[in-house]
Amino acid sequence: MQMVAAITLPAVGLVLLSTTVFSAVRPPKFDYRISTLENGMTVVLSEDHSTPIAHVEVWYRVGSKDEPPGRTGFAHLFEHLMFKGSQNVQSDQHLSFISSVGGDGNAYTTEDATVFFQTVPSQYLPLVFWLEADRMATLRIDQRTLDAEREVVKEERRFRYENEPFGLLSEILYDHAYTTHPYKHTPIGSMVDLEAAAIEDVRAFFETYYVPENATLLVVGDFETDKVLQMVEHYFGRVPKARRPVPREIPREPPQRSEKRITLEADNWPLPTVVVAHHITYDGHPDAYPLHIASKVLSDGQSSRIYRRLVYTEQLAITAFGQGNIIEDPNLFYAVAVVPHGTRPKQAEAALIEELERLKNELITDEELERSKNQFARDYVIGRFTNAQKAAHLAHAAVIHNDITTADGEFDIFINVTKEDVRRVARTYFTDENRLVMTILPHGSGEVGSRSR
Partner 1 sequence: MSGTVSTFFVLGVLSLVATVPVSAQRVHWPHETPPPALLAPDVEFPDYQLHRLENGLQVVYVGAHEQPAVNLRLLVRAGASSDPTDKSGLAALTAQLLDQGTANLTAQEIAQAIDSIGGGLSVGAGTDLSFVNILVLKDSFEFALAMLSDIARNPAYTEAEIDRQRQQLLSEIQISYDDPAYVSNMVFEKLVYGSHPYGMPHNGTQGSLSHMTRGDLVEFHQRHYLPNNSILAIVGDVTAQEAFDGATRVLEDWPRGDLPTPNLQEPPPPASRLMIVDKPGAVQTAVRVGHLALPRAHPDYLSLDVAIKILGGEGGNRLGSVLRTERSLTYSASAEMSGRQFAGDLMARTDTRSVATAEVLRLTVDEISKMRRERVSGQELRRAKDYLAGNFPLTIETPNAIAAKVLEAILYGLDLDDLETYPERINAVTVNDIQRVARQYLKPGHLSMVLVGDASSFVDDLSGVGFDSYEVIPISELDISAVDFRRTKNAAKGKTLEGKDRRSRYYRLLRTRSLSHSF
89 sits near partner 1 (criterion: CB under 8 A): yes
Q: Cβ closer to partner 1: 29 or 427?
A: 29
Binding mask 380-419 for partner 1 (x = CB under 8 A): -xx-xxxx--------------------------------
The only residue of 34, 47, 95, 413 in contact with partner 1, by rule CB under 8 A: 95
Q: Cβ closer to partner 1: 382 or 448?
A: 382
Shortest distance, position 453 Cβ to partner 1, whole Å = 25
Q: What is the largest CA-CA distance in the chain?
A: 75
50 sits near partner 1 (criterion: CB under 8 A): yes
Residue 89 DSSP code? B
17 sits near partner 1 (criterion: CB under 8 A): yes
Closest CA to 336 of 344, 354, 348: 348
Identify whether the C-beta of residue 313 lies closer than 8 Å to the C-beta of residue 304.
no
308 sits near partner 1 (criterion: CB under 8 A): yes
Residue 165: count of CB within 10 angstroms of its CB: 13
Residue 23 DSSP code? -
Amino acid (1-letter code) at residue 247: P
The only residue of 62, 125, 197, 351 in contact with partner 1, by rule CB under 8 A: 125
270 sits near partner 1 (criterion: CB under 8 A): yes
Closest CA to 85 of 21, 14, 145: 145
Identify whether the C-beta of residue 278 lies closer than 8 Å to the C-beta of residue 336.
no
Shortest distance, position 185 Cβ to partner 1, whole Å = 12
| Alpha carbon distance 325, 171 (integer Å) | 14
Shortest distance, position 110 Cβ to partner 1, whole Å = 4
Shortest distance, position 51 Cβ to partner 1, whole Å = 5
3-state secondary structure of 199: helix
102 sits near partner 1 (criterion: CB under 8 A): yes
Shortest distance, position 344 Cβ to partner 1, whole Å = 15
| Alpha carbon distance 232, 226 (integer Å) | 10
| Alpha carbon distance 421, 287 (integer Å) | 8
Q: Cβ closer to partner 1: 379 or 424?
A: 379
Give the list of residues 6+ apart from residue 37 with CB closer than 8 angstroms, or none: 43, 212, 232, 233, 236, 237
The only residue of 36, 230, 258, 315 in contact with partner 1, by rule CB under 8 A: 315
Under rule CB under 8 A, which residues in 178-237 are in contact with partner 1? 187-188, 199, 202-203, 206-207, 222
Identify whether the C-beta of residue 395 lies closer than 8 Å to the C-beta of residue 216.
yes
Under rule CB under 8 A, which residues in 144-183 are in contact with partner 1? 145, 148-149, 151-156, 158-160, 162-167, 169-170, 173
24 sits near partner 1 (criterion: CB under 8 A): yes
Q: Cβ closer to partner 1: 189 or 290?
A: 189
The only residue of 303, 361, 416, 452 in contact with partner 1, by rule CB under 8 A: 303
Shortest distance, position 154 Cβ to partner 1, whole Å = 8
Closest CA to 376 of 310, 308, 284, 294: 294
The only residue of 39, 91, 347, 431 in contact with partner 1, by rule CB under 8 A: 91
Give the list of residues 6+ apart from residue 391 with CB closer than 8 angstroms, or none: 46, 55, 56, 57, 117, 218, 219, 220
| Alpha carbon distance 128, 103 (integer Å) | 10
Q: Cβ closer to partner 1: 334 or 449?
A: 334
